[in-house]
Amino acid sequence: MADIPSKPAPGKAQKPGNSGATKDGAGVIVDYLIREKVPYVFGLCGHGNIGCLDALHARSDEIKTISVRHESMAGFMADVYYRVSGQPTATLTSCGPGSANMPIALANAFFDSVPFYAITGNVPTSQFNRGAFQETYRHYQADFPSTVRAYCKRVFQPTTAAQLPIAVRQAWKTMVTGRPGPVVLDVPFDIFNEPMKEDTPRPEEWSSNISCRCGADPEGVSKAAEMLLQAKRPVILVGQGVRYGGATAELLKLAERLRIPVACSASGLGAIDSEHPLALGLVARNGTYQANHASRQADVLLALGVRFDDRTSSSWIPGYSFTIPPTRLIHVDIDPEEIGRNYPVALGLMADVRTFLRQLLAELDRRMGKGEMPVERGPWLDAIAGYRKEWDDFIAPGFKLDTTPINPQRAAREIDQVLPEDAIMVSDIGVHHNWLNQFCKPRRPNSLIGSMGYGPMGFGVGGALGAKLAAPHRPCVAVVGDGAFWMHANVLATAYEYNIPVVYVVWNNYAYASIRGLQRGYLDGRELATDFKDPRTQAPYNPDFAVLAKSAGIEGVSVDRAADLAEAVKAGLATGRPYVIDANIGGDLNPGGAGVWELPGLGTSKPAIGKRYIPD
């Protein structure tokens, strides 16, 4: 088995002829990626991209190519690589079905505001609108861009040699400026091989010196400071804009200076150390009691880089997650489209959250230097301490259960507690994601990673490989559902081939359990197509995932007790190689919380703790 691919050495001198000499289109693309310090290209070969593969081969000591077994895995790897490292990477797929496997990964990155550079092959320009092999032509020639236009920031399709260098640099700029997101560079076959007269664009002239860290207007900053200083029951709500915007240090400084508790959307978990006294945890339909009950009683809510989606907001039903109004909302986001989308604002500010927080801290320094102090927060924090105790008492019994199958609450805690503080946990989509968000306590902004916008199964299965490549020195565990893992078990070959030491915990509950829970909760228990059963005995059925791993050359174990699960995770990390744990975990429970979720026409769930808050 080969060693894990190392990142190319930074600042390595280019080979003779790479600058100034005539290159073909693929050479320009690869050269530009190297100039943008892209360490990896994740992709899958096809006749439509062999020209680009050849250019990558020529520069393989400067940029590494990882070959996957399904194109969507390339997209998920690029997605999570960025979430861990902050460095965009690229994907490469061929024309027709190869690139048609990319929209799910593109959509996931787009809705979670994660950039990656998707290079897709297309048919030669001389064959446009002739129905060539794998051409999408029935509505418009070489029409792959229409397939992905709704799922990325923009599609660029250069059709001449002169257009390619422009499209290459414009696509990168579009990807990383403003609200980040993926872009698609759709390249016809002949353009990969076309000689280029122009040299590769220089990032330092076109994109590197563009700053999108715009601040809020000074009057808005002053008003925000005044509202927060005068608030009796303030709460800060953070989303992933704080995590990926590099604003966690400023967030902590603000929270501690004004003694304001911090609640997190699922995408914001880790923006503040979960063990910090001001950290409330998850606010959501299944949020903690202290997070939901404090947020819905707040007189001022400062929302930073958060979307107020239906799960965070308990389907926007007042009194469960939020009560806006009468809560006065200060909403700060880089994208003005998100401000005022779902809630009215007392103050909406389009700004980079880190820049805004620095502005706000400076304004508070000025005001507090003149003797202006915040309202006493002791009674508010004391009340929240009571809510926290109620929650701790409510969940305590679940941690003591020692059952087979493993209790899911206990499973989440066992995995979390055995991981080192610097570990990365990547969650796939499924009921396990809800358990992890509730009961894991991330200490860092990039230590618990999940998908909250598009929610595709397979995100964590493939994404974990990207996480480990982004941080080879950090332990990496993927917690994935049995449905998602079996859907994308091809990753085992990639993990083995490149020796990417990810530990996979397969949360095996023999069902699409999150959907089965909806059938039980909203459809009076009428279940169909959500269980996995043996056709002869009707007993729960799944492949033996440990044996499946061994067939791919990877060590695998099966566990059905909580203590054994923790030991298996520890053992898997110690191997320094890919590892699969088939964990038999109960599937009859869904995590209850202080919020609700409405399925219009079918009803609304009930909170597991507390009740709806109705202001006086």
Residue 197 has what pLDDT? 87
Strands 195-196 and 23-24: antiparallel
pLDDT one-digit tens code per residue, 541-570: 999 999 999 999 999 999 999 999 999 999
Residue 123 clears pLDDT 50, i.e. is over it: yes
CA distance 340 to 90: 34
Helix (H) / strand (E) element for 187: namely strand 183-188
Domains 23-206 and 218-389 fall in the same CATH topology: yes
Residue 588: C-alpha distances to residues 35, 482, 514, 583 (Å): 52, 15, 10, 15
CA distance 612 to 606: 10
218-389 folds as Rossmann fold (3.40.50)
pLDDT band at 399 (very low <50, low <70, confident <90, very high): very high
- The DSSP code sequence of 444-483 is STTSEE---SS--TTHHHHHHHHHHHH-TTS-EEEEEEHH
Residue 343 DSSP class? S
Q: Is the dihedral of CA 523, 592, 583, 548 positive or negative?
A: positive
Collapsing DSSP to helix, strand or coil, 555 comes out as: strand
Directed axis angle between helix 289-297 and helix 378-395, to 10°?
150
pLDDT band at 14 (very low <50, low <70, confident <90, very high): very low
CA 169 from chain centre, in angstroms, equals: 25
**CB-based burial label for 222 (10 Å; 0-12, 13-18, 19+):** middle
pLDDT one-digit tens code per residue, 226-257: 999 999 999 999 999 999 999 999 999 999 99
**CB-based burial label for 377 (10 Å; 0-12, 13-18, 19+):** middle
Residue 11 has what pLDDT? 44
Residue 5 has what pLDDT? 72
Residue 8 clears pLDDT 50, i.e. is over it: yes
> For a pLDDT cut of 70, what percent of the chain falls above it?
97
* Domain range annotation of the chain: 23-206, 218-389, 408-588
CA distance 77 to 82: 9
CA 166 from chain centre, in angstroms, equals: 30
Residue 3 has what pLDDT? 67
Residue type, 215: G
Residue 9 has what pLDDT? 59
Residue 604 clears pLDDT 70, i.e. is over it: yes
Task: Confirm if 66 and 41 have CB atoms less than 8 A apart.
Answer: yes
Task: Confirm if 470 and 446 have CB atoms less than 8 A apart.
Answer: no
pLDDT one-digit tens code per residue, 67-81: 999 999 999 999 999
Task: Confirm if 152 and 106 have CB atoms less than 8 A apart.
Answer: yes
Specify the CATH class of 23-206 in words: alpha beta
Task: Confirm if 331 and 216 have CB atoms less than 8 A apart.
Answer: no
Residue 18 has what pLDDT? 42
The residue among 448, 425, 435, 442 whose CA lies nearest residue 279 is: 442
Q: Is 223 left (phi over 0), alpha (psi -120 to 50) or beta?
A: alpha
408-588 folds as Rossmann fold (3.40.50)
* Lookup: tokens for 327: 């809560």
CA distance 578 to 574: 10
pTM above 0.85, yes or no: yes
CA distance 299 to 283: 16
pLDDT band at 17 (very low <50, low <70, confident <90, very high): very low
Task: Confirm if 97 and 162 have CB atoms less than 8 A apart.
Answer: no
Residue 21 has what pLDDT? 54
